Structure 1
């Protein structure tokens, strides 16, 4: 059994280690077709980081810092946001803050209640922060926001691990949302290049 070193204590040290993990495990350079259908020389898949114990601990602490103070829950579109909402809710609990996690389905449940949302539902009008792993055009985040707003919740902010800087910021602004990102694509790409 390999023991992990203790987590860095300061937010700046945690952020530096997280950037290193993203550069090593999440970023690739080459020719790729993205989910949006666009082609790119940059590919970012955060799941090797968000589904690792160390990566999720670092992500959860860093993302929690960007969640609105008045938020009662964090939510995101399955699958990329599943570990993020769970990790951030747990990090909040360990910090003594009440914050629940919601998962937004890509389509309504085909049986039972036909629900779009899974998790402990807050009261109508509650503020919910949406979490995302990677924002390109913003489509996945906006789908989650739409379902949450349809359910009667106030959604004002999206927090993402990486902003690919390909129109997501503009799409969020147009939808009346604030986009906060831990890293820009250029930061992750530069860290990957520096580590080679």
Structure 2
């Protein structure tokens, strides 16, 4: 069995090889950046999902009844973490937060087995820049009556997301910082 440190090192390497690009990009936040990180080639691979799920699970609050995240980036994360928790004998369900209410049926914002109102939920994210996507999930979950005070992301781009979340009473915890991925990618190119 591998250690968390070894898993993290392997994840950083996978992110540098498969998720990171250097160039000129417009991000979802509208900002321009020379760095682009798309975690889906990693989180939608078996090995990448296994590594990220184990690492994310260890950052989830012990009293969380569920993990949740905004569709689409968080879909594999919440599912993978719920499965990793089950393998460890921990009861932790997965919830998906829609970007807009379902247009038919119940008009639901949330999909998955909902815990009791007031339950603690940890939000998962693949990449945080300004924190907008994560905060949208936090707001929907809070509006539904859940307690949310932590977001765990695979990558923090360190562009204001942590401050935006702190202003909403939410702590941001990142597995990896953008600068670590950029440094690893630079070493691979050299």
Q: Shorter chain as normaliser: what TM range?
A: over 0.9
Matched, 1:81 2:74: yes
Map residues 20-99 of structure 1 onto 2, 5 A cutoff.
20-99=13-92
| Displaced runs of 4 or more, over 6 A | none
Deviations 1:80-114 (A, max 9, x none): 00000000000000000000000000000000000
Counterpart residue number, 1:174 = 167
Counterpart-to-counterpart distance in 1, 2:103 and 2:127:
28
Counterpart residue number, 1:193 = 186
Number of aligned positions between the proteins: 189
Counterpart-to-counterpart distance in 2, 1:138 and 1:175:
11
The gaps in structure 2 that reach 5 residues or longer are: none
Counterpart-to-counterpart distance in 1, 2:11 and 2:32:
26
Counterpart-to-counterpart distance in 2, 1:37 and 1:134:
15
Match 2:106 to one of 103, 113, 125: 113
Counterpart residue number, 1:125 = 118
Corresponding residue SS for 1:72: strand
Shift of residue 195, structure 1, vs aligned partner = 1.2
TM normalised by structure 2 equals 0.99
Matched, 1:12 2:29: no
The gaps in structure 1 that reach 5 residues or longer are: 1-7
Counterpart-to-counterpart distance in 1, 2:88 and 2:76:
18
Corresponding residue SS for 1:83: helix
TM normalised by structure 1 equals 0.96
Counterpart-to-counterpart distance in 2, 1:142 and 1:13:
31
